[in-house]
Structure 1
Amino acid sequence: MNEDTLTSLALGLLRGPGSNSRTILGLAGPPGAGKSTLARHLVAEVQRVEGPGSAAYLPLDGFHLSAAQLDRLGLVHRKGAPETFDAHGYVALLRRVTADRFRDIYVPDFDRDLDEPVAARHVIPPQARLVITEGNYLASAESPWSEARRLLRELWYVDAEDAVREERLLSRHRAGGRDEATAWHWVTTNDHPNGEYVKESRSLCTRIVRAEGLPVARDGRSVL
């Protein structure tokens, strides 16, 4: 699917019965598949058509545990794995997004320069009718991820060739200060098993898409 088709599909979620309610679209997929790139692109395109503030972005990465908490739990070496997220906090925010239409809702993000989560980087304004959330584990059948799934109107699986993802992840880790050997070790011992776990939930998604043709920076981050 090209980017125009994906934009049309996203806009279609805002048409028909209940079009004035708030809809949450989820994007799942393995690390480096292009989820954040696609999410940001769709938010921008929906706002271009529907007006400022009509769509908003909610990344799961904002619910990464901090380095201090990972150290406390002995999970530094597994950063990015399911158990290194505040999954219950993420589900709680999704529930608020579905229920609260009268106040700004602030959303955390993950800062790759700091290598830490940061509070309130994004905002979901009251007029937002489409919220796009993305993260590795949104399709997981395990609790509490399954609770998040029930709050989503649709869940798309963002697919990419393993070799493409690997190169993006290596670029991302090098940009974050890791040398070549350390970056390669992290991809093979951490990103790869996390990605294989994510692939198991592919069949549980509404549709399979690719974020091809969208600009991605050399460090693997979206340039949108």
Structure 2
Amino acid sequence: MSDTLAAAAALVPDAGQRRVLGLAGPPAAGKSTLARELVDGLNRRFGPGTAANVPLDGFHLSNAQLERLGVADRKGAIFTFDVDGYLALLRRLLAERSRDVYVPDYDRTLHEPIAARHVVAPGVRLVVTEGNYLASPAEGWREIADLAIELWYVETPDEERLRRLVRRHSSGGRGVRAARERAHHNDVPNGELVKVDRDRCARVITTGPWRS
């Protein structure tokens, strides 16, 4: 982690400027955990409010919209995110640095996106944003590479990711069998799509088992 934090610290711009660091990778690779650790580490090193976390998961389409589109069983696939809204937020974060910008997140208890759970204050110099598809060249996603100072790829062995996914779905209310079916039906193919874009990232970071 020390080398990864040092690499992130090298991307922090001077006061009054702002950059975006993107973390891509397949589901349950450890992107959210790494983003939080980087933000905490940078704020300890440079002072509170230096870095902030902006998760792509806040731009999940709502369950109502997924039902309307007939893709509720594919939640988490690349086409189930509001990529235009996400890009608009990133552009706003880079252009507007004089007032607070509120950022949505995803609630794994409610299984819905939640508005304004995070805030990026004017003094934030590095925005760490993470999500499965940040390195995708697909329409609507490829602009992210132009906005970010760097894209990093976060990975962990597939068997570890599957274990995390089953635990995630089980803690969200599914039985173990249903959790495994959900992971294999949806998360595994989504992860294979993400892996294709690994080489588009400037750095590859391998995470270990989650700490309890």
The number of residue pairs the alignment matches comes to 212
For residues 98 and 31 of structure 1, the distance between their equivalents in structure 2, rounded to whole angstroms, comes to 27
Q: Alignment partner for residue 115 of structure 1, among 111, 116, 120?
A: 111
TM-score (norm 1): 0.92
Match of residue 221 from structure 1:
none
Listed as ranges, the gaps of 5+ residues in structure 1 are 218-224
Q: Alignment partner for residue 128 of structure 2, among 117, 121, 132?
A: 132
Q: Which amino acid aligns with 2:178?
A: T
For residues 211 and 148 of structure 2, the distance between their equivalents in structure 1, rounded to whole angstroms, comes to 26
Match of residue 48 from structure 2:
52
Q: Which amino acid aligns with 2:113?
A: P
Deviation of 1:20 (Å): 4.4
Match of residue 4 from structure 1:
2
Whether the 8 Å CA contact 2:22–2:129 is kept in 1: the answer is yes
Listed as ranges, the gaps of 5+ residues in structure 2 are none
Whether the 8 Å CA contact 2:15–2:123 is kept in 1: the answer is no
Match of residue 24 from structure 1:
20
Q: Alignment partner for residue 194 of structure 1, among 186, 190, 194?
A: 190
Q: 3-state SS of the aligned residue for 1:58?
A: strand
Whether the 8 Å CA contact 1:39–1:134 is kept in 2: the answer is yes
Q: 3-state SS of the aligned residue for 1:145?
A: coil
Does the alignment pair 1:185 with 2:181?
yes
Q: Alignment partner for residue 72 of structure 1, among 63, 68, 74?
A: 68
Deviation of 1:23 (Å): 1.0
- The one-character-per-residue Cα deviations of 1:143-177 (angstroms, maximum 9, x if unpaired) are 11101221000000001000000000000000000
Whether the 8 Å CA contact 1:37–1:211 is kept in 2: the answer is no
For residues 211 and 6 of structure 2, the distance between their equivalents in structure 1, rounded to whole angstroms, comes to 21
For residues 15 and 138 of structure 2, the distance between their equivalents in structure 1, rounded to whole angstroms, comes to 31
For residues 206 and 125 of structure 2, the distance between their equivalents in structure 1, rounded to whole angstroms, comes to 24
Q: Displaced runs of 4+ in structure 1, greater than 6 A?
A: none
Q: 3-state SS of the aligned residue for 2:142?
A: helix
Whether the 8 Å CA contact 2:51–2:126 is kept in 1: the answer is yes
Deviation of 1:14 (Å): 1.8
Q: Determine what percentage of the aligned residue pairs are the same residue.
A: 53
TM-score (norm 2): 0.97
Whether the 8 Å CA contact 1:37–1:216 is kept in 2: the answer is no
RMSD of Structure 2 on Structure 1 (CA): 1.2
Match of residue 101 from structure 2:
105
